[in-house]
Chains A and B, each alone.
Chain A
Amino acid sequence: MFPEEVLEHVFSFLNSHTDRNTASLVCKSWYEMERWCRKRVFIGNCYAVNPRVVIRRFPEVKSVELKGKPHFADFNLVPEGWGGYVYPWIVEIARAYPWLEEIRLKRMVVTDECLEIVAKSFRNFRVLVLESCEGFSTDGLAAVAANCRNLRVLDLRECEVEELSGHWLSHFPDSFTSLESLNMACLGSEVSFSALERLVARSPNLKTLRLNRTVPIEKLSTLLQRAPQLVDFGTGAYSAEIRQDVYSRLADAFSRSKNLKSLSGFWDVTPAYLPAIYSVCSQLTSLNLSYAATRSPDLTKIVSQCYNLQRLVVLDYIEDTGLNTVSMSCKDLRELVVFPSDPFVGEVDVLLTEQGLVSVSQGCSKLQSVLYFCHQMSNSALISISKNRPNLTCFRLCIIEPRVPDYVTHEPLDVGFGSIVENCKQLTRLSMSGLLTDRVFEYIGTHAKNLDMLSIAFAGDSDLGLHHVLSGCDSLRKLEIRDCPFGDKALLANASKLEKMRSLWMSSCLVSFGACKLLGQKMPGLNVEVIDERENVNSLPEYVPVEKVYIYRTVSGQRFDTPDFVRIMGKDKDDLFSDKGLKVAVLFCSNFGTFRPCCCTRSRSL
């Protein structure tokens, strides 16, 4: 047995949460040792555990990271009011961790009151990252600015903020000099430019500055000159009348920014101003032009100079020709994201096809992560991509029209995606689209052994598809499904699998109220949330499919902050041992001759 000091020292090298979790399972003394020295806690689902339980186990935490709503909330599939309130967590950690330094939240509801508590409770607070959060206003930001004397990072990523005024920025006191990262890109209101300039000027450690749209292009050079040490810069609206003096100043400022590695922003681009960034292109490792509504030639000229680019986010305006240039020029590319410029157009007027992706997969040997929106795909393209890039870890393909087949052969895209999972053995994340039958799920269940997250839409023929995934994907933790004909059978037959996953989302599928209730009754370790906004929902028979169901494992039991359109199923004690419940369980199991035994073994013993 190692003495404690040695163990503690060894544990200090364990940074990943999974490693720490594993270490804590070795034996009781390791568990004890580990829990006292864990500094960072990550909770992937805020409803999986109570804050007090976390605090009891980990008394010395300096950094808390929480996630709230399910991923599909990003696409408006989770009605407002569902939950994800961070307030109860804030109250508890304010009490328990006075020396907390970092809070990172994703898809949570954060109120001004929460931000005020944060601002006043933690003497050494340093990092606030809010991603896809909502519920707060610029008043909350003002409180943080005014009170967090040692703040280093204020990072608002795609949040929905109530804009009361831009005055919040002026609340940073003159004595405040510790800022390292400021991302205000998602804010709509104008801040005082002089306050911003002074803030930048007195922040020698400022490495990241992402402005919002209201900062005009004429002012960018001023800020760049104040912060030559910047590594990550996001412009505001990149448009103005073409003026030589403005252009020259800007180009000059960029050329002096020797440390710049990442560029973003570029709203409302005036193409004539784009060459101002040419001098930094070869330094860039990350470039986000996905708000730049400018055409392929301009984009191509830029990327052709980005020899060191690792991450490119761009609109489909880049077209196949632009991506071909990427494949030849950006040999270090790791991640490619191509968003649609007009997601709803029936007719395509942008020349981006599957070919662009194929070229990049051919030319960029380090490509690992892809998010690609396009209008057509073929099995042969997918097979090529998989053979070119077996090192892919994240492959998300969205063919914009649902259920579209291989445009060449008119067959489903089963074989193509099958090839992806078969060849890309390290694939951890997959999103599929196009016409897909149960066959693709068979391939996935057979081959995708490292798959952690899977997103499915408008796919499959029957429960067999879902069964393949749940029974075959050993590493699966997050599964989200919409508009697929998957129902009760596969779900109930794989009930125990659900406890090994973080969560399962199914909307517009064929899962019935009865099955949800049964699942909730039989699996105390799961919350089965039916999200259904229909007026007559209480009088619907049990065989009717629910609108949406969200199932997640939890050790904290059901939650009590649900709105009326959310029902946590099967937790009423009356239902638990009813005859009907047993009969239903037996019926399902007997229909499932070839499937694994499910929860009915428990019910038979009753």
Chain B
Amino acid sequence: MDTTFRLAGGGEEELELGLGLGLSSGAYASSSNAAHSQVVGWPPVKTYRMNSLLNQAKFSKNEEETGVNGNDASKKKKNSKHENKNDEVVAKETGHSGFVKVNMDGLPIGRKVDLNAHDCYETLALALETMFLKACPTFTSIRREKQQRSRLLDGSSEFVLTYEDKEGDWMLVGDVPWRMFLSTVKRLRIMKTSDANGLAAPRYQEKNQKPKKKLLS
């Protein structure tokens, strides 16, 4: 029997996994400059307030573009992952929150994902994979670097990602441009591919022009 007790955190790797690695979509990942913005729940501002701020700050910054901030500041804001328009759309259309509920077939408990933390379907789907399909976080980041497709979007998984839109219809995720999706999504559901009513396996779409595929439910 092993009688020596290794001090926790003996390996570098374990330390890395332990300390502040926030790859879940709950992380408020904004501009790629600030390292701390990758950390979940930091700074410690309540979610409720964060959402209100996101809705507002961009609103007022738009007004200040011509003010004292100067070019550099404006550019930085434009480059930030939370693109101004993005959040305004999210804010105005989804109400006060960028959070939407996600349920997965077979799991009684749903999760919430912050749409504001994403600017494309890929990162959203990868985040959801991490949450629900329990991919290892480090693996996900490697995949992200290699620009691999999410299995939820390319049809290779037994699950497919769908959403309910403002009209109450269930649609396949990925069919409409990202911003349009943001303005219309109410909630998400990870559905069994077999339940997606015999539709062709979903393929990841570039922002174009396939007509909406409506799922009959």
Contacts and interface: CB of A to CB of B under 8 A. Distances in A.
Interface of A: 72, 74-77, 79-81, 132, 158, 160, 163, 186, 188-189, 213, 267-268, 290-291, 293-294, 339-347, 349, 373, 398, 400-402, 431, 455, 457-458, 482-483, 485, 487-488, 508-512, 514-515, 533-536, 543-545, 547, 563, 579-580, 583-584, 587-588
Contacts of B36: 344, 400-402
A349 B69 contact: yes
Given A291-B52, A342-B53, A511 B8 contact: yes
Interface size classification for chain B: 35 or more
A81 B111 contact: yes
A429 to B, nearest CB: 14
B39 interface: yes
A186 B48 contact: yes
Interface stretch (B18-26, B150-158, B201-209): B18-26
B130 to A, nearest CB: 9
Contact of B45 (A132, A343, A431, A535): A343
Contact of A158 (B5, B15, B26, B48): B48
Given A343-B50, A488-B7, A76 B40 contact: yes
A244 B128 CA distance: 50
Interface of B: 1, 3-10, 14-15, 17-21, 26, 28, 30-31, 33-34, 36-37, 39-50, 52-53, 56-57, 59-60, 69, 73, 76, 80, 82, 95-97, 99, 109-112, 134-137
Given A339-B45, A346-B33, A77 B40 contact: yes
Contacts of B109: 80-81, 563
A398 B43 contact: yes
Given A75-B46, A402-B42, A485-B9, A344 B59 contact: no
Contacts of B82: 344
B57 A293 contact: yes
B40 A579 contact: no
Contacts of B76: 346-347
Given A75-B44, A267-B52, A344 B37 contact: yes
15 contacts: A75-B47, A158-B46, A158-B48, A163-B95, A291-B56, A293-B57, A294-B60, A508-B19, A511-B8, A514-B5, A533-B134, A543-B8, A545-B14, A545-B18, A587-B4
A76 B41 contact: yes
Nearest to A543: B6
A374 B52 CA distance: 19
A346 B134 contact: no
A487 B9 contact: yes
Contacts of B34: 344-346, 401
A425 B79 CA distance: 47
A528 to B, nearest CB: 15
Contacts of A344: 28, 30-31, 34, 36-37, 80, 82
A343 B56 CA distance: 13
Contacts of B136: 534-536
In the complex, which of the residues A373, A533, A545, A583 has the most CB atoms of chain B within 10 Å of its own CB atom? A545
